[in-house]
Amino acid sequence: MAAEELMSKHKTALNHERAFDEERKIASRAKQRRGRNRLAHGLFFLATLAGVLVLAILLFDIFQRGWSYVTADFMSNFASRFPSRAGIKGALWGSIWLIAITAPLTFVIGVGAAIYLEEYAKKGWISTLIQVNISNLAGVPSIVFGMLGLTIFVQILALKKSVLAGGLTLTLLILPVVIVAAREAIASVPNSLRHASLAMGATRWQTIQKVVLPYALPGIMTGTILALSRAIGETAPLIMVGAATFLAFTPGSLFDEFSALPIQIYNWVAQPKAEFSNLAAAGIIVLLVILLTMNGLAIFLRNKFQR
């Protein structure tokens, strides 16, 4: 009996020791996980801080150099070879014309293509091939679209160096982005809503019009406006289609020559006089205000339609 008691006590001690070792290992692993978590948190914070610091330094430099040049004369004068007389009126109106052409074309064609691919196209290798190519086009460099616009719109269709040629080129540039964004928004609509609408006797188009599009509209609008924000800041495609770097008038029709804010900024930066660099900074401020306004509009529309 004494031997059995000793064996029992020995086993109990061993079990306690094993349990203690196991708890110590668990505590050690938990400590290592917490350490790795803190390390990852610190790295991510430093990465975010680096991006924010670079952006803050850039904005500080731009506003310091260009804020005093953003005056009423700067907004109402045309481009000039004399820094004291130079303004941004022609380029600003050119950008407005471009967006006025690009926005409706991109929205109608992009959303229409997304609806077809998600709601009507049969699932198969052809549909998959089309979707993959559209996604690939969204990553093509903008200069390639500029060359395409030069070939099709300027040369073949003989639109020359017109606002219409520039707007159509920018439409080609951001159309894949809008299609991808609209497809993702439409695909996020629960199938139960579609089935409920069809069960109530609605046709497929009525279901799309009354159920799918209202549900997907916040994502569609957000993607479209962000794509337009990219288009308004593009330079390479507009250079390819012949946008003017010096323009002393505002476009009066779709077939007039044009300039744009990125083109004007690029032209000022290339000038040897230091005053033109300050004018370029002022032009960047105007462009940033437009971009932030468009992004703010995207957020407003998204929140409004979500409610």
Compute the mean pLDDT over every residue in the chain, rounded to the nearest whole number. Answer: 85
Given a cut of 70, is residue 2 above it in pLDDT? no
Tell how far CA 63 is from the center of its chain: 24
pLDDT single digits (tens) 101-130? 999 999 999 999 999 988 888 777 777 888
Q: Which of these ranges, 26-30, 69-73, 219-223, 283-287, has the smallest mean pLDDT?
A: 26-30
**Alpha carbon distance 14, 21 (integer Å):** 10
pLDDT single digits (tens) 140-194? 888 889 899 999 998 898 888 889 999 999 999 999 999 999 999 998 888 888 8
pLDDT at 12: 66
pLDDT at 272: 79
Question: Taking the chain, what is the end-to-end CA distance rounded to the nearest angstrom?
Answer: 78
Given a cut of 90, is residue 214 above it in pLDDT? no
pLDDT single digits (tens) 174-183? 999 999 999 9
Cβ proximity of 274 and 201 under 8 Å: no
pLDDT at 106: 93
How far, in Å, are 91, 97, 261, 289 from residue 65 at the CA level? 20, 28, 18, 16
Please state, for a pLDDT cut of 90, what percent of the chain lies above it: 16
**Alpha carbon distance 84, 245 (integer Å):** 18
pLDDT at 21: 67
Residue 12, token pair as written in the block? 């109990």
Sign of CA dihedral 214, 179, 164, 74: positive
Q: Per the confidence metrics, is the pTM higher than 0.85?
A: no
Report the interhelical angle of 213-232 vs 163-187 (nearest 10°). 140
pLDDT at 3: 58
Residue with tokens 């040049």: 69
Tell me how long the chain is: 307
> How many other C-beta atoms are found inside a 10 Å radius of the C-beta of residue 280?
22
Report residue 20's pLDDT band, with 50, 70 and 90 as the boundaries.
low
The three-state secondary structure class of 75 is helix
**Alpha carbon distance 179, 26 (integer Å):** 50
pLDDT single digits (tens) 240-260? 888 777 777 888 888 888 888
Ramachandran sector of residue 158 (left: φ over 0; alpha: ψ -120 to 50; beta: rest): left
Cβ proximity of 131 and 184 under 8 Å: no
Report residue 82's pLDDT band, with 50, 70 and 90 as the boundaries.
confident
Residue 245, token pair as written in the block? 């770097």
Residue type, 186: I
